[in-house]
Structure 1
Amino acid sequence: MLTPAAARQLAAYNRWMNDKLYQAAAILPDEVLHAERGAFFGSLFGTLSHIVVGDTVWLRRFASLPVGADVLQPLLAWPQPAALDARPAANLAELAALRQQLDSYIEQWAATQDERVLAQDLAYRSMRGDACVKALGGVLLHFFNHQTHHRGQASTLLSQAGVDVGVTDLLVLLPDTAAHRN
């Protein structure tokens, strides 16, 4: 199961990767950014929008939990996305601003988590309205894995557009333990 330290590490990786993707996407003209590429959410803009939508939906659900919910309360004023392919922003600059806010909330919220909190259940309704109850630690694994999955698609779309995002591996953010043994 996910540990608090791993949640914090994944939150930092999330921000690092999003910063890289948005910097890379910013050099593309709008017609390339919005071009239909056959990805799950069509274009690069559609893919980046979906990640924002997914994170917004999940963070609003996490705001119902007793620990760390105060950090997420501002999200409850955001509109609830109506669909997974919604476009929460009109352009990349607006989407990037939302992304920056979400990444800040994710890092702040992850910092409040401990083993006790991660062991609790999260009750929520799916986008279809189905009632669900799942272990928070498992849901957080899904949350971070979902981001990684779609960021992989976004980096492929950038590569197809001739933009190299550089290294994307979490491994580069992990400390070298040999340095800690000396």
Structure 2
Amino acid sequence: MSLQAHFVLMARYNQWMNAKVYDAASRLSAAELAEERGAFFGSILGTLNHLVVADTLWLKRFATHHSSSTTLAVMEPLPIPGRLDQPMFDDLEGLTAHRKWLDDVIINWIVALTDDELNAALSYHNTKGIASSKRFSQLIYHFFNHQTHHRGQVSTLLFQVGIDIGVTDLLALIPDEPEKR
């Protein structure tokens, strides 16, 4: 499996898990979603919002990288969030619609990546203005790992209020291979 094909799997997993998490979150009231629960970003809504903020920041950075700029041009009109906890939407409905759009953007972008892009470096500044230059493929690993990390927090918060989102393992999306004899 090529590196790019692996990232396609991760993008599809990301979309699948976001749909499950947002469906589960939609069963809660606005007050329950916004309730402080002691998570890094406070509430369920705050954590889901943080993922949209972080994805926006990273996708805007990624848009500066070679041909990625073509598939990520749709990110250009979006403002750059100023804080990692900056509210992007006040309600789950708006956040859900935007999340679905972002997940489609991510898949379209990942499908278009080339090996040359994945092996090149990306220079960027973080939210504190600190410059970095890192291998593009390693940043994409971080991008998906970050999402998994915070979705795991959300799934725990949902479970604590009695909502089980079901299977969350990447294994569920890995296709079976024919047996070799």
Q: TM-score, normalised by structure 1?
A: 0.96
Q: Which letter does structure 2 place at the counterpart of 1:19? A: A
Deviations along 1:20-48, whole A, 9 cap, x unmatched?
00000001011111110000000000000
**Deviation (angstroms), 1:114:** 2.3
Alignment correspondent of 2:170: 170
Runs of 4+ in 1 over 4 A off after TM superposition: none
Alignment correspondent of 1:28: 28
Deviations along 1:85-111, whole A, 9 cap, x unmatched?
111001000001110111011000000
What is the distance in 2 between the residues matched to 1:59 and 1:121?
Answer: 15
**Deviation (angstroms), 1:74:** 1.6
Is the 8 Å Cα contact of residues 8 and 107 (structure 1) preserved in structure 2?
yes
Alignment correspondent of 1:39: 39
Alignment correspondent of 2:107: 107
What is the distance in 2 between the residues matched to 1:132 and 1:61?
Answer: 12
Q: Map 1:12-161 onto structure 2 (within 5 A).
A: 12-161=12-161
What is the distance in 2 between the residues matched to 1:36 and 1:175?
Answer: 39
What is the distance in 2 between the residues matched to 1:54 and 1:71?
Answer: 18
**Deviation (angstroms), 1:68:** 2.7
Q: Which letter does structure 1 place at the counterpart of 2:115? A: E
Residues 70 and 13 from structure 1, CA distance in 2 versus in 1: closer, same or farther, beyond 3 angstroms? Answer: same
Give structure 2 stretches of 5+ with no counterpart.
Answer: none
Alignment correspondent of 1:5: 5
Q: TM-score, normalised by structure 2?
A: 0.96
Is the 8 Å Cα contact of residues 35 and 43 (structure 1) preserved in structure 2?
yes
Is the 8 Å Cα contact of residues 3 and 114 (structure 1) preserved in structure 2?
no
- Percentage identity across paired residues of the two chains: 45
Q: Which letter does structure 2 place at the counterpart of 1:13? A: Y
Is the 8 Å Cα contact of residues 51 and 147 (structure 1) preserved in structure 2?
yes
Residues 68 and 181 from structure 1, CA distance in 2 versus in 1: closer, same or farther, beyond 3 angstroms? Answer: farther
Q: CA RMSD in A?
A: 1.2
Deviations along 1:6-63, whole A, 9 cap, x unmatched?
1100000000000000000001011111110000000000000000000000000011
Partner secondary structure for residue 77 of structure 1: coil
**Deviation (angstroms), 1:181:** 4.1
